[in-house]
Each structure stands twice: as C-alpha cells, then as structure tokens.
Homo-oligomer: A and B are copies of this chain.
C-alpha cells in the first residue's frame, strides 16, 4: 500500500490527484496539506469532495510520519523546499511543478529566476514514463513533466530515435483549455473574457520551451530548436498540439515506426494516417492519441496529439509515475474511459 500525501490539494491539480487516487486500489491518502487553506476542512473549499480532512500546514515531519510518497503541487520554489526535506526523511516525491524537471540547474535559474540549493545531490528524473520508465523506478524525486511538453514530446520522440528530422527547428502550436492556468482569480481568465475568444500568449517565450528543448536535444543527439505558440481557447480541459516538422521519408514508414514505438504502451494510441484526434476523446482519462498526415510537396509531417492537461498532463501522469516507483502495474487506477460527451 502506498501512503500518499498531497501538498496543495485544493488547486486543480491537487483535486484531480484526489479524484484519481480515491479509486486507486493500492493507494491510501493519509495526509492533505494546503498553502492557503491550512486549518480548514476540505469541504469548506470544495463541498463536492467525499473526503473532509482538515487541511494541514506543510510540515515535513508530519508528512514523513504519515506518508511514503508525497505529491507536491505548490508554487515554484515552495515545492522544492518541502520536497527536499521530506526526501531526506526517505519519503519519495513526485513534484507536479517545474522544480525537478531540468538536468541543468542553470536553465531553471534562467527561466524561473530562482536558485535551487543542493540540486545536484538529488536523485531525480524527468518523469515521462514512456521514455524514462527504468530511471523512474530508481528515482527519489520525480519531476513530473509540464502539460505542453507531455503532448509535444510524445508526438515527436519516435522521429528522433530514427534520426528522421531534416531540420533542427520544430514548430509546435498548442491549443489549451483554461484550467492550465490554475484555480486563481485574474480578469483575463473570467468567463466573459474567455468565452467566444482565442488568444495566443507567451509566444516563443513560454517556460515549457526549455523543457521541450532539453528532451528533444538529448534524444536527437544535437540541438533541436522549438518554436512554440500556446493558445488559450474556450474550454476547461484538454490540449491539442499540432506540430510541423520536415522529414526525409514517407508517411507509411513513419506511421509504422510510431505504431511499433508505442505498441506496448497502455496510454499512447497511434491513429491511422488521415485520422485526426479530438481532445474530447481524453476528457478525464490518462490517454494520448497521436494523429499524422504528410504534405509531400514540402516534405512536411504534421503531427497532432491530444491529452487532458490535468490527467496525462499532470495528475494522471503523476499517478502513473507512482505506480512505477512502487512496483505496481503501470495503469493501476488509471483505466478510466473518458467522460463523453
């Protein structure tokens, strides 16, 4: 049995962890903490949950006493501090923020303007199970991937393996639901500002770019540059990512390569060429669908992926990582079909 703590349970990622773990046969939530609402019972914040624990202060000793795994869903830097202290006490950690995602701490400093003391001593891994399954088994701390990188990397990885990229620039155009911005007030997120509108934001300077470039370059064996445009669209959950890359081969071969690459994966599904996915197919589920087509006049491969940003893009992937870390079947507690329609 995994005894689980959730630090930051009232945010969208935290409450999604609760939803998933509530039905996990091998996990028991033994601690819930909150930065903002410590001292309140959970139902004061979210009357619909079917737990009503008193939310706790982020006390590492208490956590270490009650849990053998802690999920941290806290602001950048805050997660790091809590995680380091409980990890010292032998508690495994899965952080849903960016604090443990980078191999090179200088990158973190550059993009997050914070220094992480003692980072080099952590036995950490970038928690994309389809790529790092074996390292995740051994890790003490998992840096759970960002939502955009999850959708983009899974769509591109098979190409890298075979060295099929002609050029070193990848165009990534993502369309995201608003829940990615979290449960926080802000005029730009209120319903009247979001409905009936699409907008781009942080174009070519979103914090998920270095994360994508780290992983793509590492696996390509050379520098891959990402041109990334995230868009906010009027829906709550889901990310649709469209990717344009120049490749040196035909669609049939690429499709076969993808099918083989993801053949044994429980959560990644490769569609037949010319068939395109919808984010509705993954609402509330941990699955990923990848579609593709080819524009032969310009040697352009168009890749598409869909995920639920709060599940495969956050809490679901975190539970998948938990399963791996604790020797459980990887899809345990994650078998749910999407909520449709």
Contact = CB atoms under 8 A, between A and B. Distances in A.
A279 interface: yes
Contact of A280 (B193, B287, B306): B193
Interface string A43-59: 00011111000000000
B227 A302 contact: yes
A300 interface: yes
B183 A192 contact: yes
Oligomer: number of copies: 4
Contact of A271 (B47, B237, B275, B277): B47
Contact of A237 (B196, B199, B302, B336): B196
Max chain B Cβ within 10 angstroms of own Cβ: one of A18, A287, A338? A338
Contact of A302 (B204, B294, B341): B204
A307 B229 CA distance: 19
A197 B279 contact: yes
A23 to B, nearest CB: 6
A109 interface: no
A46 B171 contact: no
B238 A276 contact: no
Contacts of A336: 19, 22-23
Nearest to A233: B233
Contacts of A203: 276, 293, 302, 304
Interface residues of A, number: 84
A195 B237 CA distance: 11
Contacts of A337: 18-19, 22, 48-50
A1 interface: no
A94 B109 CA distance: 55
16 contacts: A23-B336, A177-B196, A178-B191, A183-B193, A184-B190, A189-B192, A190-B191, A191-B234, A196-B196, A196-B279, A198-B240, A200-B240, A203-B302, A204-B294, A231-B242, A284-B339
Interface of A: 12, 15-16, 18-19, 22-23, 46-50, 168-169, 171, 173, 175, 177-179, 183-187, 189-201, 203-204, 225, 227, 229, 231, 233-238, 240, 242, 244, 271, 275-285, 287, 289, 291, 293-295, 297-298, 300, 302, 304, 306, 335-341
